Chain A
Amino acid sequence: QTVVTQEPSVSVSPGGTVTITCALNSDSVSTSHFPSWFQQTPGQTPRTLIHSATTRSSGVPDRFSGSIVENKAALTITGAQADDECDYYCALYMGPGIRWRFGGGTKLTVL
């Protein structure tokens, strides 16, 4: 079965840089998976930060960036702020059948 893997938790100091990755157990992540990244604070709806691997959604600060590095999708936060502390999910497009697979989520701590 296809599994999408993220780091369960990461931490960063205020003002620091952190990268969260999104990997497939059965393949390399590429642009054909249209990698997306979502931010979710407790009790809230997921918000799209990045889509199509590198495109920032409207209104998203430019400290959030997306890339594909070493066969994984990556979300990098540069200049982390306290209110960036929440959960982050990636999603990969898998094709006409099982359309999307989400990663298990990464809990970001800013300390």
Chain B
Amino acid sequence: EVQLVESGGGLVHPGGSLRLSCAASKFSFSSFSMNWVRQVPGRGLEWISFISSTSAMASYADSVQGRFTVSRDNTENKLYLQMNSLRVEDTAVYYCAREGTWITFGGQGTLVTVSS
């Protein structure tokens, strides 16, 4: 069973920053690429970021490109998302997800609220 625990969400003003974390367990974290997916409450799922198992490759959705940075620490089995220049429309539940040939969610997500 994949276990992923997201944390670091909270209330932040527009233009502010947050760093999300995702603690992975019950699988070989360093062997898998990882993704961040978000969901505006009551709305659909949106893929926002990818990082390969060795951190050699990363990619972002247009909506967050240039503002968000994904990273990982394979020694600590952790995934991170540094979010800068936050906007009201970034308000969402953020999930981390493991990628094989498919995405697997494993945590409850962390809520980020951007509001003045």
Chain A interface size band reads 20 to 34
Asked whether, in the complex, the Cβ of B102 is within 8 Å of the Cβ of A103, the reply is no
Check B108 against A99 for contact (C-beta < 8 Å): no
A99 touches B44 (CB 8 A): no
A97 interface contact, C-beta 8 A: yes
Is A104 within 8 A of B103, CB to CB? Answer: no
* Residue among B44, B61, B101 having the largest count of chain A Cβ atoms under 10 Å: B44
Interface residue A89 (Cβ < 8 Å from any Cβ of B): yes
Partner of A45, one of B35, B99, B105: B105
Q: Mark A42-56, 1 if CB is under 8 A from B, else 0.
A: 000111100110000
Asked if residues A96 and B59 are in contact (CB atoms below 8 Å), the reply is yes
Q: Mark the stretch among B11-19, B45-53, B81-89 that contacts chain A.
A: B45-53
Q: Taking chain B's interface residues, is the majority helix, strand, or loop, or is none over half, making it mixed?
A: strand
Complex partner residue of B57 from A89, A96, A104, A105, CB under 8 angstroms: A96
By a CB distance below 8 angstroms, the chain A residues around B50 are: 99
Query: What's the Cα separation between A11 and B101 when bound, in Å?
Result: 30
Does B104 count as interface, using CB distance less than 8 angstroms?
A: yes
* Contact yes or no, A99 B99, CB < 8 A: yes
CB neighbors of A among B72-116 (8 A) = 95, 99, 101-109
- Residue of chain A at shortest CB distance from B108: A45
Interface assignment of A36: CB less than 8 Å from any CB of chain B: yes
Checking A36, A96, A97 against B103 with a beta-carbon cut-off of 8 angstroms, the contacting residue is: A36
Bitwise interface map of A from 72 to 108 toward B, beta carbon under 8 Å scored 1, else 0: 0000000000000000010101001111111111000
- Given contacts A45-B95, A96-B57, A96-B59, is CB(A102)–CB(B105) below 8 Å? no
Judge whether B35 and A100 touch: CB under 8 Å: yes
Residues of B within 8 A of A (CB): 35, 37, 44-47, 50, 57, 59, 61-62, 95, 99, 101-109
